[in-house]
Amino acid sequence: MQRGSDSDVLIVGGGVVGCAIARELCCFDLRVTLLEAGADIGAGTSKANTALLHTGFDAKPGTLEAQLVVRGYRLLGDYADRVGIPVERTGALLVAWDEQQLAEFPEIVERSRANGYGAIAELSVEELYRREPELGPGAVGALEVPDEGLICPFTTPLAFATEVVLAGCELQRGTAVEGIERVPGGGFRVLTGRGEWRTRFLVNAAGLRSDEIDRMLGYARFTVTPRRGELIVFDKLSRSLVSHIVLAVPTKVTKGVLIAPTVFGNVMLGPTAEDVERKDDTSSTALGLAYLRSEGRRIMPALLEHEVTAVYVGLRAATEHVDYQVSIHADEGYACVGGIRSTGLSASMAIAEHVRSELGEAGLELSPRAEPLPELRMPNIGERSERPYQRGDLIDRDPEYGRIVCFCERVTRGEIRDALAAPVPAVDLDGLRRRTRAHMGRCQGFFCGAELAALLGAAGERGAPHEPAGAAAGAGG
Amino acid sequence: MSGPVVIVGGGPAGLTAARELGRRGVRDVVVLERELEAGGIPRHAGHQGFGLRDLRRPLSGPAYAKALRRFARDAGAELLTETMVTGWSPDGPLELTSPAGRSTLDPEAVILAGGCRERPRSARLVPGSRPSGVMTTATLQQLVYLKGARLGGRALIVGAEHVSFSAIMTLAHGGARAVGMTTELPRHQSLAAFRAGAAFRYRTPLWTRTAVSAILGRRRVETVELTDLDDGSTRAVACETVVFTADWIPDNELALMGGLAMDPGTRGPAVDAALRTSRPGVFGAGNVLHGAETADVAALSGWHAAQSVVHFLGRGEWPAAPVRVECRAPLEWVSPNTIAPGAGEPPRGRFAVRAREFLTRPRIEIAQDARTLWSGHLLRLVPGRSGRLPHDWTAAVDSEGGPVSVFVRSARG
């Protein structure tokens, strides 16, 4: 059995939280290993969510979640601007549709202030319809949350993982953890289907499987019950219908069905919230889609006249507890970062900062790297900033950026080439989609499906993207 | 660069328009094609039967595409491939992106000939997991005929129109067997000969009144759940490929960007009998105007648009406020769908009409402001296939009056 390198810290789980923690630790002089069970990073819960950059206005005051979302909002917003993660600060309107929902407003405002967010304000019904004229009839009031925004859920974990690789740390995809043993005298042996890794400190950021990893170490603190969320993405031609994120008044169980633009220029409707048994049950359902359509017809009837571009399903890592399940065992160097629900994207960098600081107190030596990390600039896939097909200067230097392969999303051959050769390369069509938007549009491959398959196939034959096998061989100890 | 005529889309309609413009002495005709090669859908339709109505001979798709390319070039048109219109404001020039860089064109006349596409699984809201192996007919054709892919295994075909039957042959070419064909309608919408061929040569059963209620599989499709629409029962069909066929929609983003008035039935730009849109100097041709007609019919539409362009280049007239033609359910659309003075005869001397249901001996009525303009029987209407309405009633349309309404007076189902 091959064996990976010895690490100072090994992180289990390459979702947005695990990637953020790995990136945070890579800023120090540490040997860091990030293991992801799936074929790609950010391909589980992190890829199919509402992709909102939350202010944390509605979190439960006093919880770790509230604290980390509020801080994460600022950290991630700044980071996104710096490295080129698409962000749109649209603001949100929380709409009440009956008197009972309206009666919740004082409590929501109070909670927001308790979380340190004072910019929340009530809007008149007239002002609400002036801002969102396509809203269905019957709204009785609204709260404005001017700082809520949209963020690209694909570029975010990818930027983190790219920095991890550029820092010379180890990323292993397609590597599922099967067992963990404590090493006498300190540290852990992490057993996977592709060999074993030794590490001094261990971080469990395994998302839906964080309870299973926790149990491998003998703890039984929480159980993850996957909560399925179905989302309908409408054609970009519907984008002009909506300007803000239109939120529902939250209930005990869910934040409700929202309508929001996406950074790709679509409009999203969802999510549903349904507890399911299997952690891989990302199937959409006739009932769920019918429910979303009926909610959508009520909230914004004109939206339903548009074509549907895609249906996505995500599973949130819900637990029986209200708060995140974050605990540090200083004695043995284990950090459990579980139960991170839909706010995890916004909170990711603050979670990482928190975990780093706790590990430092637990004895992890945090001395700065000899050389700072190189400046990172991610390829832009957001609709609001210039993309390669729009840049004459870029095309003049490299005509591949003028060769549009995916017509609906205007993705060029140059971008696909780059994504297949990036520090964290795409290994399949879904990975290519998340990195470039290819195949994400209204035709779903009618025009470009065969060409993309051929480009992926050619890259596979060159041996370029199949990173797990190649890199693991190089990293063998 | 700026010529008098730019044709957006180098399929049968666009290439035929280019050829005809050249033949009629129009210089500086540019065809913009975003694919590597012009020719449109026929490039990757390996079966026979193209070119019957326009070239008067049967050709395979690729041979037909090649012939149309040659005719257009020989007539003097410039074919710019890998060139896509990526911007067009309602009063601005065409903005282009190609390997040569970014540029704009502001011609005297534009013909939109961008064609249509099939609705994919997501747009049809078919639930289930998201395995690979789910595709439209066009993707299937490109994989098999352009990329030489071997699919193997079993496939289910969703839809029962002409193109659905062609998919059986494409699958066979790619080494896959069509284990069934489903339609939610009570019968297929194609020709009896195609149906017989499917049954006897390929042994592909046709399941009518059947909906695809779920697609299941981890990495690749494993099973498809079918629901009988009459008794609600479900059953599973094992297969590795699912082909979503037909259910065409015009690729209409450019028309919407350019601020053109759209027809709610066709979902393409509204046009009069001269194929003039609401924007002066902008014409539409072929399947960008409505769900798919066969390639030769699209080509004849391109020919017709070219005649109108020649007429326009000489005079520069444009109708101010044409009368809209609306249709009522169960009719789906009528094309052309506006009436303007001086428009002349529509393409192929007819108004095409489509219905959502099978109608036998429907009595169709065309009226304006409670005044009957025409009334008569059609033999039948089949969903996805066009019926033919005459055009001589257009002379009686009051250009100051309300919209013209087309509806079914009576029919047998």
Sequence-distant (6+) residues with CB within 8 A of A355 are: A21, A24, A203, A326, A328, A335, A337
Cα B306–Cα B312–Cα B314 angle in degrees, nearest 5: 110
Instruction: Give the C-alpha separation, B303 to A408, whole Å.
Output: 28
Question: Residues of B with CB below 8 A from A392's CB?
Answer: 101-102
Distance from CA of A394 to the nearest CA of B (A): 9
Q: Where are the alpha helices (DSSP H) in B183-327?
A: 192-200, 253-257, 295-315
Q: How many Å apart are CA B56 and CA B58, to the nearest integer?
A: 7
pLDDT one-digit tens code per residue, A59-101: 999 999 999 999 999 999 999 999 999 999 999 999 999 999 9
Please state at what angle helix A155-166 crosses helix A344-361, rounded to 10 degrees.
30
Q: Which two tokens stand for residue B364?
A: 């169709």
Question: How far apart (Å, rounded) are the C-alpha atoms in residues B198 and B180?
Answer: 10
Using the Cβ of B253 and the Cβ atoms of chain A, whether some distance falls under 8 Å is answered with yes
Note the pLDDT of residue A2: 54
The token pair at B195 is 């149906």
Query: DSSP string of A8-58?
Result: EEEEE--SHHHHHHHHHHHTBS--EEEE-SSSSTT-SGGGSS--EE---TT
Beta-carbon contacts of A304 under 8 Å, excluding residues fewer than 6 positions away, are: A293, A296, A297
Report whether B66 contacts B44 (CB < 8 A).
no
pTM of this prediction?
0.94
Question: What is the token pair recorded at A248?
Answer: 């529902």
Q: Which long-range contacts does A448-452 make (Cβ < 8 Å, 24+ apart)?
A: A448/A405, A448/A406, A448/A407, A449/B135, A449/B136, A449/B139, A449/B142, A449/B143, A450/B139, A450/B142, A450/B143, A450/B146, A450/B147, A450/B149, A451/A405, A451/B142, A452/A405, A452/A406, A452/A416
Phi, psi dihedrals of residue B304, rounded to the nearest 5°: -65, -45
Instruction: Point out the least confidently predicted range of A146-150, A318-322, B30-34, B39-43.
Output: A318-322
How far away is chain A from the Cα of B369, in angstroms, using its nearest Cα?
28
Helix, strand, coil shares of chain B as percentages rounded to 5?
A: 25, 30, 45
The set of catalytic residues of A is 54
Considering only CB atoms, which chain B residues are within 8 Å of A410?
A: 84, 86, 97
Q: Taking a C-beta distance cutoff of 8 angstroms, is the pair A32, A26 a contact?
A: yes
Residues from chain A that touch B256, judged by Cβ atoms under 8 A, are 237
What are B284's strand-pairing partners? B112
* pLDDT value at B346 more than 60: yes
Mean pLDDT calculated for residue range A20-37:
97
Q: Which amino acid is at B241?
A: T
B135 touches chain A (CB under 8 A): yes
pLDDT-based confidence at A49, cuts 50/70/90? confident
CA–CA dist A326, A224 (Å, integer): 14
- Give the pLDDT of residue A466: 37
DSSP B85-107: EEE--TTSPEEEEETTEEEEE--
- Residue A471: the pLDDT is 27
Q: Are B302 and B13 in contact (CB under 8 A)?
A: yes
Which residues make Cβ contacts (< 8 Å) with residue B76, sequence separation at least 6? B22, B27, B29
pLDDT attached to residue B315: 87
Q: Is the pLDDT of residue A117 over 50?
A: yes
Q: Does B149 touch chain A (CB under 8 A)?
A: yes
pLDDT tens digits for range A125-143: 999 999 999 999 999 999 9
Compute the Cα dihedral for A436, A441, A444, A449 and give only its sign: negative
**CB-CB: which of A288, A390, A446 is closest to B117?**
A446
Residue B164 structure tokens: 């659905």
- Tell if the CB–CB gap between A390 and B120 is shorter than 8 Å: no
